[in-house]
Structure 1
Amino acid sequence: MSTTPPNVSVRKRNDVASRPWRGPVRRYDLFKELSVGIVVVGLVIVGLSAFLSSPDDPSVTLRQWAHSAPADFVATTTAELGGTSTTAMYGPPYNSTPDATQTLGPIDLQSLSGVRIPIDTANDFVIEPLSTLPSPPVAIRIWNSAPETQRTTWTSAYAAALAAAPKNDPGKVAAGEYGPVPALTGALLQMADGGALDNVIQAPGAFYNMDYTRGILFLGDGTYFPGLADAQHLTGDQWGVMNETGNYPGQSWLWLFSFWYQIEPFSSAPNADLLVVVIMLVLSVALMLVPFIPGVRSLPKWIPVHRLIWRDYYRHK
């Protein structure tokens, strides 16, 4: 008498994988497929990449910025000294600027990590790099000995004078009480134009350094670097997160992140980054829970696209 439970034989009869295949049969050459997959496809990829690959543009440097847009460089340096640049007022993780963080009601995710990369724009971007010169400007001592209110007065007056000068040319600024600010900005411009600032601003005193945070932040505070991004179709309102240099297609899987920035209320919201992060978090959790959501998990039964894709299998079944 057989000891096999009746339901086992029933499962075997209903197991599609155990049934003999009665459909069409064709010869299969594994070596040929391997040759095509590696050699032929590889040659096609290399050949197409020579004509269709994205351009390899050189890195933008502070020297390039100072040489190409000296007026913007001086204006940005003045903002760094006065603490009015984007980096200076960003908040965590760079500084503790009040009311600078993006919040969602009482939720302040930006402040959770605290100031992990402390940056004092006046000292880190201007004073400290100039102090590394063989003959540091005397203006450094004047700046360091002045009270904070006096520094603010100097930088505010010089920033206004730069904005009023023809083409914002520092050489055409009207006379005024600017203290050491013109000397500091002029010395930094000369230092950058000579190529010395690029290495010094990253990690003073370190021979090897791979941290480009300071240089990128300094570049981003001006208008020259964002202007290059705009010309290359890389800004947020140009779906730049999905493009590579020159409007070449890039990370298509990021389209959903970029999509929210193109529509209201996100495109004009001051806390757009936080809103998009929260929305994507909710959507990601919802995607993981699809097998457990009634109705949604039954969509394949109501819309049997899989039967169209695997039509040969279901035809024989």
Structure 2
Amino acid sequence: MNTTPSPMSWRKADNIAGRPWRGRVREYDLFKELTIGVVVVGLLVVGLSAIFSSPDDPGVTLKSWATTAPSDFVATATAELGGTSDTAGYGPPYNATPDATQKLGFIDLQAMSGVRLPVDTANAFVVNPLKTLARPPAALATWTAATAQEQTTWTANYSTALAAAPNGDPAHVAAGSYGPVPALTGALLGMAGDGNLDGVLQNGGQPYNLDYTPTILFLGDGSYFQNLAATAHLTGDQWGVMNETGNTPGQSWLWLFSLFYQIEPFKSSPNADILVVTVMLVLSFALTLIPFIPGLRSLPRKIPVHRLIWRDYYRNR
């Protein structure tokens, strides 16, 4: 005859929840406890946020650039006109600049993508925006009628003169053969300072356009944006990553991308971008295959970190 009690009968015989409490009893003010908890936690949140939170800096715009660093703005606009900026020589997907692509061994992945977002920096960033003004500068006609060689000579001369001027100030540039370039860049500076250039570049002639690509490319070609990053300790060698809109937290997961840019062979490679992206793809693919890789999938059992975390459960097993 089996005398072993069933699990159901054991639960009925050992009903702890139904036993009367025979220990000490004292009053407990739940409302008081809740109030203290909310106040203490609230003060901690406010205090720690004030000390350790990331800055809520205003957004960087072309207007702030033209107002804060007008010399850099004019120098960058001149480079855009002359086709010597980083964007002008980037290659696909913006243009077909020879030998500008990054390669993975003998595979030219960047060229394979093609020029999908064509950007003619002179027209996209300077000429076309100036045409939207109620009174476009007369210098536009001179620029448009000039030959490519004349345009190149004017911008090269003006870039050299700006670099030689005190603090790069256009107002102190020596006289020279610059054609309409000073007038064009000066008009663009005024347009940006009034806040009109931001809307023109972002809108692209379409309502409700949220494509910031032209604005970001233009900003990235100057040194103003880079200097802001350095001031905020956000350049790669400072191990900083922040991407905020209002009070949105930064993307901390980008630390691994940033890490590879600081070590060899990525650090000094002209193909750093494509190499880092490839490594991240391989690592991501390997992560998805962990449950299927013999040996690797057994590591959690061989490294019993879970036993330390759930030590109360494993103590008597």
- Name the TM-score, length of structure 1 as normaliser: 0.80
The aligned runs of 1:237-256 (5 Å cut-off) are 237-241=237-241, 250-256=250-256
Deviation at residue 81 of structure 1 after TM alignment = 0.2
Q: Does 1:287 align with 2:287?
A: yes
SS at match of 2:198: helix
The aligned runs of 1:227-246 (5 Å cut-off) are 227-241=227-241
The aligned runs of 1:159-308 (5 Å cut-off) are 159-241=159-241, 250-308=250-308
Residue 154 of structure 2 aligns to which amino acid in structure 1?
W
Match of 1:63 in 2: 63
Deviations 1:62-121 (A, max 9, x none): 121112111111100000000111111111222221221211122222233322222111
Deviation at residue 48 of structure 1 after TM alignment = 5.3
Residue 166 of structure 2 aligns to which amino acid in structure 1?
P
Residues of 2 paired with 1:59 and 1:276: CA distance? 28
Residues of 1 paired with 2:132 and 2:243: CA distance? 39
Aligned residue-pair number:
285
Residues of 1 paired with 2:285 and 2:45: CA distance? 39
Residues of 1 paired with 2:208 and 2:251: CA distance? 31
SS at match of 1:209: coil
Match of 1:130 in 2: 130
Match of 2:121 in 1: 121
Q: Give the root-mean-square deviation of aligned CA atoms.
A: 2.9
Deviations 1:30-87 (A, max 9, x none): xx9xx98xx9598578645752432221111212111211111110000000011111
Residue identity over aligned pairs, in percent, reads: 66
SS at match of 1:79: helix
Which is further off, 97-106 or 289-298? Answer: 289-298
Residues of 2 paired with 1:294 and 1:206: CA distance? 54
Match of 1:153 in 2: 153
Deviations 1:173-218 (A, max 9, x none): 1221111111111111121122221212222444543222111211
Residues of 2 paired with 1:131 and 1:107: CA distance? 41
Residues of 2 paired with 1:197 and 1:252: CA distance? 32
Deviation at residue 312 of structure 1 after TM alignment = 2.2
The 8 Å contact of residues 54 and 244 in structure 1, kept in 2 or not, is answered as no
Deviation at residue 311 of structure 1 after TM alignment = 2.1
Deviation at residue 301 of structure 1 after TM alignment = 3.5
Query: Cα distance 1:44–1:279, how it changes in 2: closer, same or farther (>3 A)?
Result: farther
Residues of 1 paired with 2:125 and 2:211: CA distance? 14
Residues of 2 paired with 1:197 and 1:168: CA distance? 22
SS at match of 2:297: helix
The 8 Å contact of residues 234 and 244 in structure 1, kept in 2 or not, is answered as no
Q: Does 1:53 align with 2:48?
A: no
Residues of 2 paired with 1:244 and 1:196: CA distance? 24
The 8 Å contact of residues 242 and 255 in structure 1, kept in 2 or not, is answered as no
Residues of 2 paired with 1:160 and 1:228: CA distance? 25
The 8 Å contact of residues 233 and 243 in structure 1, kept in 2 or not, is answered as no
- Name the TM-score, length of structure 2 as normaliser: 0.80
Residues of 1 paired with 2:300 and 2:208: CA distance? 56
Query: Cα distance 1:222–1:146, how it changes in 2: closer, same or farther (>3 A)?
Result: same
Query: Cα distance 1:49–1:114, how it changes in 2: closer, same or farther (>3 A)?
Result: farther
Moved over 4 A (4+): 39-46, 242-245
Q: Does 1:92 align with 2:97?
A: no
Residues of 2 paired with 1:175 and 1:264: CA distance? 47
Residues of 1 paired with 2:59 and 2:252: CA distance? 23
Residues of 2 paired with 1:300 and 1:198: CA distance? 53
Residue 60 of structure 1 aligns to which amino acid in structure 2?
V
Deviation at residue 307 of structure 1 after TM alignment = 2.0
Residues of 1 paired with 2:303 and 2:277: CA distance? 31
Residues of 2 paired with 1:128 and 1:296: CA distance? 57
